[in-house]
Every structure is written in structure tokens, then in C-alpha cells.
Amino acid sequence: ASPGPKWFQIYLPSDQGQAKEMLQRAKAAGYLAIVLTIDTIVGSNRETNRRNHFSSPLPDGNFPRRTSGYQRSPANRNLGWDDVAFIQQVTGLPVLIKGVMSPELAVMAVEHGCAGIQVSNHGGRNLDGVPATFTVLPRIAEAVAGRIVIVLDGGVRRGQDVFKALALGANAVAIGRPILYGLALGGWMGVQGVLEHLKEELEMTMRLAGAKSVSEISKRFLNV
């Protein structure tokens, strides 16, 4: 529905035919990049979800049952760099990988022609004890050395968090739960309110820190 630029995040199906169909539909719908999720190829032990009897209310909108025999393919559990090349070949679009938590993997992404990486621990839901994305970001940014785009997600709740991420080497942040909270409480106006609040807090933080523009934000503003 949004007229703005969009990226398509995919949990790659094991059925290459279904994967190709989804990717081609995304490109035809005007998506400008593909984000391949690499850190959720199997389910994790989400005890809170089980205690709360949680089940997703979202439909499988990307998997329409066009015929009675159509079944959704399970996620590819053996992802490799060939899959990145497959997406690049099918779409011709920039490909980012989501779930990068080490400098070594970030460097490999550069070497395999990825347009960017998303530093993400999947909201901390997949593995207990996994480090925060803010913790691993500085070493990843140092290893990447500006060669590709770095997006960070996980724990971004305030404009100050956006400022810190940019100062530590991210080019952008991705926001999940605050957007869902705004959507649940106020629909599209709730989402707009969350984004406006984050923008105002970021501007406030920049003014208090003395950064005149986003491009000026750097590690020198942090006590690290």
C-alpha cells in the first residue's frame, strides 16, 4: 500500500520453483531489493510463545492456493552462497542477507557480491545468550569498511538508539516491535505516530550532541 521504496524479505522456500515465483512477483510488484533471512532456517524454542498460546494471525498471503494441489514449501534448511547467486540471477536486484552477527560473515557477504547486510539476532528470540546487535556492530562495521550497506535491527526503541547505531557504523536501522505496537493500538495512524516520535527523538539527540546532520554522526559522540 505504501508508495515509498520497498525491500522484500524472504524466507527462501526449499522448492526452487516456488522461490523463483515469489522473487519474480516481488520484482513485478516494484520491490527494489531482496533481503534473504539466514538465521531462521529451523524453529527455535520460544517458551514464552507456548505459555501465551501464541499463534500468528497473519495469513500466508505470499502462498496463494491456486490449485487444490498447491502446498507451501518448507524453508530451505541448507542455505549457502549459491542461494544468494540464485536470487541475484532471478531478479537482477540488490541482495542483502539478514542475520549477520560476525565480522567474518560480513566480509564473506562483501566477497560474494551482496549489496548489504542486516546485523540482526532475530529479536533475540532464536538463541538464549546471543549478543546484542549493538555489541557486535562496531567490529562488523570495521571489517566491512564502508564497502556495502549495513542495516541494524534489534532493540531500537528510541531516537537515541538510532543515533547510537549510526555512530557505531550502521547506515540505517530497521524497526519491528514498535511498529507492531503502533499498528495494534492505532492502525496506520499508530504506525505514523511511532515513526514521528522516533524522528523527533533523533533530532533532539542530534541537537543535544551537537551533530548538525546525519552524516556528522560518528563514534566521537559516544563514550566508548
Q: How far are the Cα atoms of 57, 67, 74 from residue 71, in angstroms, in the given order?
A: 19, 9, 9
> Which member of 53, 112, 122, 197 is catalytic?
122
112 is catalytic: no
Q: How far are the Cα atoms of 141, 169, 207, 220 from residue 145, in angstroms, in the given order?
A: 6, 9, 27, 17
Per-residue exposure over 60-74, b if at least 16 CB sit within 10 Å of its own CB, e if not: eeeeeeeeeeeeeee
The catalytic residue positions are 122
